[in-house]
Amino acid sequence: MTRGSLSLVAAAALAAAVLTMWRVNGTSGMVVADTAVIALGQELYDENCASCHGANLQGQPDWKIPLENGRYPAPPHDETGHTWHHADALLEQIIRDGSAAVVGNGYESDMPGFGEVLGDDQISAILAYIKSTWPERERAIQARVTRDRTL
């Protein structure tokens, strides 16, 4: 097993262990991830997402304007983007399967699926990291959207 494979296995084991440590924030009722989950998520984000979505979650310039090939640049995952408008299940599906697979109908995207590279716990950790950077307002809205989509 290579060093990279060992790191990935260790990261997956850590994610599985610490995801059970999530707790509910008493003021808003939102789920708040343990700092170890957020740290793992940041590491995984840096390795798998930052090259397109930016080291600071800022996305690519002019992300709302299609490129010449009709595809859109990578959107930001900070509060200036639209990630916080979507429920966890949809965000997880996009990361796992890729945008084109989720949208369907011939939609083309440069966003690949990471389902063969990242496990569900790792995807959850990445989302925990992204959410940890949002202001309270965006976290609360996204938590409500997630809750409403699962009822």
For 5-17, what is the mean pLDDT? 49
pLDDT at 19: 44
Rounded mean pLDDT, 42-70: 97
Q: Which percentage of the chain shows pLDDT scores above 70? A: 77
pLDDT in tens, 90-104: 999 999 999 999 999
Q: What is the pLDDT of residues 78-87, one digit of tens each?
A: 999 999 999 9
Q: Which of the four pLDDT bands, split at 50, 70 and 90, describes residue 149?
A: confident
Q: What are phi and psi of 87, to 5 degrees?
A: -70, 155
The whole-angstrom separation of Cα 135 and Cα 10 is 31
Cut 0.85: pTM above it: no
Sequence spans of domains, the chain: 3-150
CATH of region 3-150, choose from 1.10.760.10, 2.40.70.10, 1.10.3720.10, 3.10.20.30: 1.10.760.10
Owner of token pair 């965000």? 91
